[in-house]
Copies of this chain bind each other. A is one copy, B any other.
């Protein structure tokens, strides 16, 4: 790929690009031929997620905390993309701890990412006249409807805005509000993606989510533990489907929030049984109490995404779980090997 081609491509900034969804998004954008500038500070992400991308000429990584000041035009590593002259055409903001164990560990960072970080990136979008996409969450809905109906984008539930998970749940509401304010008053072409429960290979190492725990336990031959109501249904969307939706949404002229997720509900027992079968495990299922202050899962109504983006999830749960299990097995072996080497190095 020549420098000439790079200069003609879009400059796309992906904040939180080394995270779970962010890294898959960077991959797709790099494949599309965009110049991808990935920004991350590794609070809840992993350099392993983007290691393969570092070899592409149209990918560049900037280690930075988005709540702090930065002048991208000054960075020598971005010179080849002419960021100082042509700026950014698109900004994706996925920079926020998303797994409960991460945001409960980093509440201040989660609070500032959702406010200071979002506002700084909106200001950047305004100055660059760039399109902007906020990765929001089903968490903004608050408590789900009593009868577990799919929630449309208009639904607003009660929000415990001072509760233990408020840095994320309330933070995302604020992030959407700030995005809407810049859309309405500063003419930022802003998109709001309300992402529902998402899974995939790279969630496994750093998640603390139940599906990840099921795979780990099942592969290790341990009993699988389900926390909470065994009949509670959730939906699970494969990460590459979500990434396609984000790219579609950015290309669209939709400026309202859009639900993105799977419509097909499963009980956690069904998911655990699938994983036990896929891993040829003889693991049994145990049930324990729900994690304290867990969000009740909501089921998305994705009519808007279907009708306006012509998008719906393509990867079914068996297929996606198989990919996740295969990845976990491969990397678990890798980690064991490395630990083994490290141990034997110490012995020498």
Contact = CB atoms under 8 A, between A and B. Distances in A.
A161 B157 CA distance: 11
Contacts of A174: 115, 161, 170-171, 173-174
A166 B160 contact: no
Contact of A119 (B111, B158, B181): B111
A162 interface: yes
B182 A108 contact: yes
Interface residues of A, number: 31
A326 B78 CA distance: 64
Nearest to A256: B162
A158 B107 CA distance: 24
A125 to B, nearest CB: 13
Contacts of A108: 181-182, 185-186
Given A156-B158, A174-B174, 15 more contacts: A107-B185, A108-B181, A111-B119, A111-B181, A115-B116, A115-B119, A115-B178, A140-B161, A156-B159, A156-B161, A157-B158, A159-B173, A161-B173, A162-B177, A170-B177
Interface of A: 107-108, 111-112, 115-116, 119, 140, 156-162, 166-167, 170-171, 173-174, 176-178, 180-182, 184-186, 257
